[in-house]
């Protein structure tokens, strides 16, 4: 960008990827949103899969929630906070993702894996890779992993393990870089 | 089994893994159910994810549909008919699978992948492998793959490509074998 | 098995899945072999991928090491000790596995994942699932995961973290069960 | 790029991912190299895993072939031509990939899957996704898939199925775009 010019904020909404009652991932999402909001270069908001207009009797673009589609279309990148359910992704996260297609192309996505066990949701992230690639998203390679998530927050949802602040910073640094690069590409480099 | 004794039928319900309106997988499921019903050694029924009691505001065993759980508990094996959505599994199939846990252990599962494109749902099957393993299911290695599914059935849902009859037979042969073996194991070989 | 009859030992060799100089996985393999040898129901031996007769100018059954094939053919089950290299399996482990095909069918495999980091090789196990399934192996669902492996053994390769003894027992219990069940199936239940 | 300025060619070597004797993937690699060479914006060369300096008694950066590392360091992007062996990647392709690490970061990779069967190597591509992501590569989402590869070339290795020309063009168009975008990012957008 030419010197002196101000960058338009990167719009990076955060998808909270489970509707489960009592979900610990909500603490993670709230923490991460507050870290994102400290960065003037990012504009964000929460996309809660529990709040989307979906149905149990259809799937795909035909049941598209227009508010969801509007946000994805506008997005430069995405954060997905995703708990690991049986080594895979929550069904309703996928139900939501499948509502759009072209809206995702050439945008960045960063994964924040969450698990009650010791492996930080590492397996659900692997499980999501083929899906986001097919959607046209570019996954960054610096994940944020919450292991034993119940020990990382107190009952009020306040972070008790400060090492996640630095990890979130590294995660966001990489996501911001990739989001910037791809936005430049989408806006400036013509497809062949 | 001692000679002269009659085997109790293997109970192998078939999960139709998408609720999508206009789903082509329904033709596949109906065809496969009719093939299964020709075999006296199997008792089957349809489990349609569109008909399950689920909700959009929860996930996991807490929102368990008791009818689903009862069938899975009783099952000796499963057939999963699954279309490929963006290289992954339909969200509501996973939403359904996650409702149970112990009920699946040491039972067989056979995959029937469905796609509109040329690769027969091969990718969604790979995507499901870590999930079914974590559930305790044993995936057979002989899949049934429907490529360009719209060309394999006529408008009334009748199979027009007869080669699938032989393929379904091979698929079921392997599933029956594995289901038998695991039932013997569950009933006879004590865990250590 | 009829009472009074003695079970033929289960032959379960252990594949050490990396040839890397300074490999920590060797400590894991030696520990696990010694745990296996405490069980009279198992006969085992080490298959070290570093010691196999392979070449850098071919792949597949055409370059089969006959000693390897003989052991796999005789095996009732397998243990694979596998470090995680860039979220995937070591190349030479795959180079070895690809030397056989029918020899693996309907036999059990248990995974022991190894990593220098905190996630216990969980990702390499996911990455191996489609491969072993295609080979006809049945993966158990109780893995053994060594995280920060360098901290679990002293310089002489002696285990310093005793919690792995109990974990190895659970891992082997499940593998023995599945190996027994599948051997019964191979020997007794005719394919359809 | 300012008008009138000439773009430095994108250096995109092609990795032929199997050493197997009689490999059909060599025909694919030769065809694709010739398609790439028609594009003045790309400079390419063949990296044949059969020709790399590797060993059967080590793995990782410690056994790095300096010629390979030099090419990867210089590369802006990569094409990987990869046959599917048992639903996974050839061992020696992974053996090669694991020789480098930082050299791959923020570069593009396009996959060309090859299979003797009908599914175009679609499964090996899924299997490679976690690996290339961990290496820091960005996988494009437009693959090139050769199904029944033995039917696509004559005995002299000449393409007999012309539809692959158009498919290769689409594949290369996307790879060139992503390679350009990421090169701009590496050279111009500072990491945070």
**A31-73: pLDDT as tens digits:** 999 999 999 999 999 999 999 999 999 999 999 999 999 999 9
- Judge: B20–A62 Cβ closer than 8 Å, yes or no: yes
What is the pLDDT at residue C6? Answer: 80
Q: Which fold has domain A10-187?
A: Rossmann fold (3.40.50)
% of chain A exceeding 70 in pLDDT: 97
E strand map for chain C: 10-11, 14-16, 42-43, 46-48, 77-83, 108-114, 138-139, 144-146
Cβ-based contacts of B20 with chain A (< 8 Å): 58-60, 62
Cα distance between residue C102 and residue B124, in whole Å: 25
pLDDT tops 90 at residue B86? yes
- Under the banding of pLDDT at 50, 70 and 90, the label for residue B7 is confident
- Under the banding of pLDDT at 50, 70 and 90, the label for residue C3 is low
pLDDT tops 80 at residue C15? yes
Q: Do the Cβ atoms of D113 and D122 come closer than 8 Å?
A: yes
Residues 6+ apart with CB under 8 A from D69: D99, D100, D103
What is the pLDDT at residue B3? Answer: 59
* ipTM, interface predicted TM-score of the complex: 0.96
Q: How many CB atoms lie within 10 A of CB C170?
A: 13
What is the pLDDT at residue A167? Answer: 98
Query: Could you tell me if A6 lies within 8 Å of chain B, comparing CB atoms?
Result: no
Hey, which CATH number is domain B10-48+59-187, 3.20.20.70, 3.40.50.360, 3.90.550.10, 1.20.1180.10?
3.40.50.360
pLDDT tops 60 at residue B2? no
Cβ-based contacts of C174 with chain B (< 8 Å): 192
% of chain B exceeding 90 in pLDDT: 96
pLDDT tops 60 at residue C17? yes
Cβ-based contacts of A134 with chain B (< 8 Å): 86-88
Query: Could you tell me if B133 lies within 8 Å of chain C, comparing CB atoms?
Result: yes
Going by C-alpha positions, the residue among D44, D81, D42, D79 that lies closest to residue D180 is D42
Cα distance between residue B5 and residue D128, in whole Å: 50
Within a 13 Å sphere around the CA of A91, how many CA atoms are in the beta-carbon half? Answer: 27
- Judge: B20–A133 Cβ closer than 8 Å, yes or no: no
- Which residue on chain A is closest to C125 by alpha carbon? A123
pLDDT tops 60 at residue A82? yes
- What count of CB pairs under 8 Å joins A to C? 25
Was domain D26-186 assigned CATH 3.40.50.300?
no
Candidates B135, B181, B191; nearest CB to C185: B181
pLDDT tops 60 at residue D1? no
Cβ-based contacts of A92 with chain B (< 8 Å): 56, 59, 91, 95
Candidates C118, C123, C147; nearest CB to A123: C123
Candidates D126, D130, D138; nearest CB to A138: D138
Average pLDDT (D143-151) is 97
What is the pLDDT at residue C7? Answer: 87
DSSP letter at C151 equals G
Backbone angles phi, psi at D26, to 5 degrees: -65, -40
DSSP letter at C116 equals S
Cα distance between residue D30 and residue B31, in whole Å: 43
Candidates A60, A62, A89; nearest CB to B85: A60
Q: How far apart are the CA of A47 and the nearest CA of chain D, in angstroms?
A: 25
What is the pLDDT at residue A6? Answer: 80
A neighbours by CB contacts (3+ pairs under 8 Å): B, C, D
Cβ-based contacts of C127 with chain A (< 8 Å): 126
What is the pLDDT at residue B27? Answer: 98
Backbone angles phi, psi at C22, to 5 degrees: 80, 15
- Under the banding of pLDDT at 50, 70 and 90, the label for residue A143 is very high
- Judge: A176–D192 Cβ closer than 8 Å, yes or no: yes
- Judge: D20–C62 Cβ closer than 8 Å, yes or no: yes
Cβ-based contacts of C90 with chain D (< 8 Å): 59, 91, 94-95, 98
What is the pLDDT at residue D6? Answer: 80
What is the pLDDT at residue B6? Answer: 80
* Distance from the first to the final alpha carbon of chain D: 23
Cβ-based contacts of D172 with chain A (< 8 Å): 192
% of chain D exceeding 90 in pLDDT: 96
Query: Could you tell me if A192 lies within 8 Å of chain D, comparing CB atoms?
Result: yes
Quickly tell me which residue has 């094996």 as its tokens: B77
Q: How many CB atoms lie within 10 A of CB A190?
A: 7
Candidates C19, C86, C101; nearest CB to D56: C19
Residue A124 sits at the vertex; the CA angle it makes with A145 and C82, to the nearest 5 degrees, is 90
Going by C-alpha positions, the residue among C85, C63, C130 that lies closest to residue D50 is C63
- Judge: A184–D182 Cβ closer than 8 Å, yes or no: no
pLDDT tops 70 at residue B4? no
Q: Which of residues 76-95 of B touch A (CB under 8 A)?
A: 85-95
Average pLDDT (C52-62) is 98
- Judge: D56–C50 Cβ closer than 8 Å, yes or no: yes
Query: Could you tell me if B122 lies within 8 Å of chain D, comparing CB atoms?
Result: yes
Q: How far apart are the CA of D19 and the nearest CA of chain C, in angstroms?
A: 5
What is the pLDDT at residue B75? Answer: 98
pLDDT tops 80 at residue C4? no
Cβ-based contacts of C130 with chain D (< 8 Å): 87-88, 123, 126-127
What DSSP assignment string belongs to C175-191?
HHHHHHHHHHHHHHS--
Q: How far apart are the CA of B183 and the nearest CA of chain A, in angstroms?
A: 23
pLDDT tops 60 at residue A98? yes
Average pLDDT (B112-136) is 98
Q: Locate the domains of chain C by residue range.
A: 10-183
Average pLDDT (B141-146) is 98
How high does pLDDT run on average in chain C? 96
How high does pLDDT run on average in chain B? 96
Average pLDDT (D170-179) is 98
Q: How far apart are the CA of D185 and the nearest CA of chain A, in angstroms?
A: 5
Which residues make beta-bridge pairs with D85?
D88
What is the pLDDT at residue C133? Answer: 98
CATH classification (class only), C10-183: alpha beta
What is the pLDDT at residue B11? Answer: 98
D neighbours by CB contacts (3+ pairs under 8 Å): A, B, C
Q: How many CB atoms lie within 10 A of CB A61?
A: 13
- What's the pTM? 0.97
% of chain A exceeding 90 in pLDDT: 96
pLDDT tops 60 at residue D2? no
What is the pLDDT at residue C169? Answer: 98
pLDDT tops 70 at residue B50? yes
pLDDT tops 90 at residue D85? yes
| Token pair belonging to B60 | 């996991």
Helix H, strand E, coil C: the string for B7-39 is: CCCEECCEEECCCCCCCCHHHHHHHHHHHHHCC
pLDDT tops 90 at residue A1? no
pLDDT tops 80 at residue A91? yes
- Judge: A130–D133 Cβ closer than 8 Å, yes or no: no
What DSSP assignment string belongs to D38-92?
T-TTEE--EEEGGGS---SS--SGGG--HHHHHHHHH-SEEEEEEE-BTTB--HH
């Amino acid at each position: 960008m030419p010197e002196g010019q101000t960058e338009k904020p990167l719009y990076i909404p955060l998808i909270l990827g489970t509707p489960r009652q009592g979900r610990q991932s909500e603490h993670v999402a709230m923490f991460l949103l507050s870290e994102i909001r400290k960065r003037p270069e990012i504009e964000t908001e929460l996309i809660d899969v529990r709040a989307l207009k979906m149905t149990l009797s259809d799937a795909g673009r035909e049941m598209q929630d227009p508010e969801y589609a509007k946000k994805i279309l506008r997005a430069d990148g995405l954060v997905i906070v995703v708990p690991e359910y049986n080594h895979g992704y929550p069904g309703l996260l996928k139900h939501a993702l499948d509502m759009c297609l072209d809206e995702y192309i050439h945008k960045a996505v960063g994964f924040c894996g969450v698990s009650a066990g010791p492996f930080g949701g590492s397996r659900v992230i692997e499980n999501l890779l083929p899906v986001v690639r097919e959607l046209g998203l570019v996954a960054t390679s610096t994940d944020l992993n919450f292991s034993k998530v119940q020990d990382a927050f107190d009952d009020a949802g306040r972070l008790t393990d400060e090492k996640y602040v630095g990890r979130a910073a590294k995660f966001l640094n990489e996501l911001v870089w990739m989001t910037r690069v791809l936005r430049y590409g989408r806006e400036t480099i013509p497809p062949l």
